[in-house]
Amino acid sequence: MKINDKFFMKLAIDEAWKYQFLTYPNPAVGCVVVKGDSEILSIEAHKEAGQAHAEVNALKTAFLKYHPNDVLKTLNDSFDIHDYLKRKHNDFFNDCTIYVTLEPCNHIGKTPSCAQLLSELKPKRVVVAHEDINKEAKGGLETLEKASVKYDLGCMKKEAYELLYPFIKWNSGSFIFYKMAQTINGTIDGGKISSNHALAYVHALRDRIDLLVIGGNTVRIDKPILDARHVIGRAPNVMIYSKRKIFDKDIPLFKVPKREVTISNDLFKLLDYKFVMIEGGYNLLDKLKEKVDFLVLIVTPKMRAGLNIENSMDIDFEIVHENFIGNDKLIYLKRK
């Protein structure tokens, strides 16, 4: 691949996808710092709401690559990192290009303004894939321009838009995704399918979402708990999609403290929540397909006898990203 802006921006986009959904209610954002023409100092991402933004993580890692024993490595608070870099950068970033998937934020909230930090560090150039659509945070490019920091906008904008799409949806209404795990021959039953790494990822998602939806048959047969114990996280509220309202209340999911469980077949209830995950198989997907924005498919490298897709299902998706969790492949598909 030719070493150009797209090469470095793709690194930033791929890094951001590793934390897609986990940054809720913030967008997933990636950042790469390149010194000179081609020396990659850091590839970082925003990892969790309230923690350092992608640019801050990348700038910190880049600085420490040349100053490995600097006191900066002991700092984790965004405000502390901002303040330290402003005072101690000593023009380190003047020959650096910053690649970031989203326009640097211009406001001060739980974390300080990344645009203001960059305007003081004075990098050679800032390459931005997509402008910010958040009214509170936008305006970062104007801040850079006022500080005479050169920037370019629109590198890999389509790919950056797909990365940003969940944020756009939950910021304006609801984002609903369907999570399903299968073997490489499409089997979805027969007990545990995915690796422990993938299971931990699913539990991390449960910790972030506003609502978890599951089918009534799955509840009756599998008797799940549907918590986030593998990441010591918050167990989500649950909606059981079912016409039949009677369930055995000894099923573990009903016994989770501080959890609300709703039993309903009214799909409009999903629109009361900004970030919804549905877990299930092919039958539930077919019933709820008109409400689904993304399918998140975890494919494990095994072949097993069992239930495969039914011939009657007809849904078209576009693959927007693929990566790996351990040995399992994670595929993000957007409904057409």
CATH of the domain at 288: 3.40.430.10
Q: What is the pLDDT of residues 184-204, one digit of tens each?
A: 988 888 678 899 999 999 999
Shared domain check, 196 and 146: no
Shared domain check, 213 and 145: no
55 is catalytic: yes
Tell me the pLDDT band of 311, cut-offs 50, 70 and 90. Answer: low
Shared domain check, 271 and 209: yes
Please tell me whether the overall predicted TM-score, pTM, comes out greater than 0.85 for this model.
yes
Shared domain check, 42 and 185: no
- Of the residues 55, 103, 159, 162, only one is catalytic, namely 55
Q: Which two tokens stand for residue 191?
A: 């007990």
Domain interval for residue 179: 174-335
Beta carbons of 97 and 59 less than 8 angstroms apart: no
Q: Which two tokens stand for residue 313?
A: 């299902």
The secondary element (H helix, E strand) that includes residue 288 is: helix 282-288
What's the CA dihedral at 175, 210, 23, 321 to 10 degrees? -40
Q: What own/partner pairs with CB < 8 Å and gap ≥ 24 does 243-251 have?
A: 243/216, 244/216, 247/216, 247/219, 247/220, 248/220, 248/223, 251/219, 251/220, 251/223, 251/224
* Least trusted range by pLDDT, from 205-214, 296-305, 326-335: 296-305
Shared domain check, 200 and 155: no
Shared domain check, 139 and 199: no
Give the three-class secondary structure for 335: strand
Q: How crowded is residue 145: how many other Cβ atoms within 10 Å of its Cβ?
A: 12
Indicate the number of domains in the chain. Answer: 2
Shared domain check, 242 and 187: yes
Domain at 17, CATH number: 3.40.140.10
Shared domain check, 90 and 37: yes
Beta carbons of 180 and 296 less than 8 angstroms apart: yes
> Rounded distance, CA 129 to CA 151, Å?
11
Shared domain check, 129 and 24: yes
Tell me the pLDDT band of 137, cut-offs 50, 70 and 90. Answer: low
Q: What is the pLDDT of residues 37-63, one digit of tens each?
A: 999 999 999 999 999 999 999 999 999
